[in-house]
Structure 1
Amino acid sequence: MSMNNKFTSRRLIMKNIVLSTLVATSLFVGGVYADASSTKTVKEINTIAVEKGQKQAVDSQKKLIDEAITSLKFTQKALVNLDAGETEKAKANIEKALGKLEVILSAKEAPRLLPVESAVAVHEYLGTKADVEAALKEVNTLLKQHRVQAARVLLNTLQSEIDITVVSLPLESYPRALKLAAQYLHDNQSAKARSILGIALSTFDTAIEVVPLPLLKATDLIAVASELSKQGEKQKALDYVQSAEDELKVAEILGYVSHSDNSYEMLYDAVKSVKKEIKGKNKAEKLFDALKEKLSDFKKNIFSDTK
């Protein structure tokens, strides 16, 4: 279903429906990374984190409302009827379109939006913090040269995220539009009815939930490091913690910011404490747990600072 979306919002938020899957099944315990003897490389762990995140994003997609989709089809038919001068058929299809929403509209707590289309897209940035900094420097140079389009192309590569896009039918305005179109037809004002139906079929709410990939990667790398630390593989654990810190730095410079009380600086401090504990004689398990908790809270409160 292809739609012209009138209202679009980019919400950089870890919604509960997404977060409950992505975090609850994170590899903090057991699973693929529990056995240090089968330790994977950083690249392999990152690949698994992306694939796992994509699968879980697909699994967590909102259920599409069949009644809303069918209602849209009847509305589209009504518009075709009017273009063909078939007023009575148009009236009948508008009635059918409204009829498909009767049960939803009569519900005590009817939803504000009815999902009619959903998609998941993955945009992975494979560079380092230094690569991002170099790219941003180039963007600034291009803008100073007024090469805006070239700058935009480069800037568009600076994202590393899973986008979950949901297109929804606004339940408040759509039924009203159908009723108004029906009234116009009753008053023999087909042109106005056609106009109203056209607006109804081009007014949707599009929400994009964004899951930052560097944070997913950091989460899984910390999980691996925790398991390795428990088994006495200190150097390997340190290597994975360092890779997790690198991912956090990429997330920060790419602009994934959070409402969390835990800032990037606090995450870096927690990473520093974990590193120090791993190098010492004491077990770092409690500090790993504290770092995981801070990272989890940070991800829950991710938001966009641009839109």
Structure 2
Amino acid sequence: MKRRKVSYQALICLVTGLALLFSGPAMATQQAKDATAGKAKTPVEKEVKSSGNKQVSKKREAIIKEAVEALAETKKALDAIEKKKKQEALDALALVTGKLEIVLAREPDLANAPIDVRVEQYDLYATVDAIKKAVKQARDLLGDGEVQQARMILSGLASEIDIVVTSLPLASYAHGIKAVAKLVGDEHYQEASDALYELLSTLVVTRNIIPLPILRAEELLKKADKLAETEGRTDKQNKELASLLDGARDQIRMAEALGYGDKKEYKGFYRQI
């Protein structure tokens, strides 16, 4: 069964914000998290971790060394510009241009060059009913215009692995570096510094979301399929098979409750069960 993946793209921005804590919504989210306090994890956590690691490794293999080096030289150039070291800044910018030209020559159709991959994991052990109650409370709050309080509830309703890939936008970055080099050559250091900071803010971030309940359901069904093929199963094995199928069904329902998909999208899972 093919997993649903959600990708988002955004620009990296330097933002300062205030964190608002609301005891009511925070408690509601905590109730969803604690609804099954002490509940054992599924019997496929090792397989889930392995599957997640494989997908992260594939993303890391796509990292382009020259693009990573270009970013490092950009930071060196910025430091030199702020110290008004003209030649040092120009040398670093020239290296950036050279690295980018290597990438573009090798892969002329590549728009964004991956330079970093990081993993964020959010997990939630709760009953489907507890999740639905939290979602209903969030909807009620939104209906009352209490957006921030609803946000506090919804922020905890996630069970996923996020693979976050940061990339250099090759064409615009290369053009921007040349513009900065001209400013440095004219000794317009403040303008060059501002332009370089702005350029660094255009790094592209792609977030690939892998819902953990679906990953767990897949692994549970793999175990169930293997056990189902066993001839002359014992009563113990039959109970284990039933438990695996129940567990997979619960995970799919959790994915639905968390909004990762719906019954129509997961009908293949239900047929398999």
Name the TM-score class by shorter chain.
Answer: 0.7 to 0.9
Counterpart Cα distance in 2 of 1:193 and 1:220:
53
Q: How does 1:280-295 map to 2 (within 5 A)?
A: none
Counterpart Cα distance in 1 of 2:52 and 2:269:
25
> Any idea what SS the aligned residue of 2:108 has?
coil
**TM-aligned CA distance change 1:139 to 1:107, over 3 Å:** same
Q: What is the match of residue 58 of structure 2?
A: 60
Confirm or deny: 8 A CA contact 1:104 1:110 kept in the other structure. no
Confirm or deny: 8 A CA contact 2:81 2:184 kept in the other structure. no
Q: What is the match of residue 215 of structure 1?
A: 214
Q: How does 1:251-266 map to 2 (within 5 A)?
A: 251-257=255-261, 263-265=265-267
Counterpart Cα distance in 2 of 1:99 and 1:242:
57
Q: How does 1:259-274 map to 2 (within 5 A)?
A: 263-265=265-267, 267-268=269-270, 270-271=271-272, 274=273
**TM-aligned CA distance change 1:267 to 1:71, over 3 Å:** closer
Q: CA RMSD in A?
A: 2.6
Counterpart Cα distance in 1 of 2:240 and 2:187:
77
Confirm or deny: 8 A CA contact 2:76 2:92 kept in the other structure. yes
> Any idea what SS the aligned residue of 1:176 has?
helix
> Any idea what SS the aligned residue of 2:201 has?
coil
Identity of aligned residues (%): 29
Count of residues paired in the alignment = 232
Q: What is the match of residue 88 of structure 1?
A: 87
How far 1:157 sits from its partner (Å)?
A: 1.3
Counterpart Cα distance in 2 of 1:238 and 1:204:
48
Counterpart Cα distance in 2 of 1:76 and 1:157:
36
Q: Deviations over 1:254-305 (max 9, x none)?
A: 11138x9x6334543x15xx5xxxxxxxxxxxxxxxxxxxxxxxxxxxxxxx
**TM-aligned CA distance change 1:235 to 1:84, over 3 Å:** closer
Q: What is the match of residue 21 of structure 2?
A: none
Q: What is the match of residue 249 of structure 1?
A: 253
Counterpart Cα distance in 1 of 2:70 and 2:187:
23
Runs of at least 5 residues in structure 2 that lack an aligned partner in the other structure? 1-10, 14-39
Q: What is the match of residue 192 of structure 2?
A: 193
Residue 12 of structure 2 corresponds to residue 5 of structure 1: yes
**TM-aligned CA distance change 1:44 to 1:257, over 3 Å:** closer
Runs of at least 5 residues in structure 1 that lack an aligned partner in the other structure? 7-41, 275-307
**TM-aligned CA distance change 1:88 to 1:158, over 3 Å:** same
Residue 43 of structure 2 corresponds to residue 45 of structure 1: yes
- Give the AA of the match of 2:248: A
With normalisation by structure 2, the TM-score equals 0.75
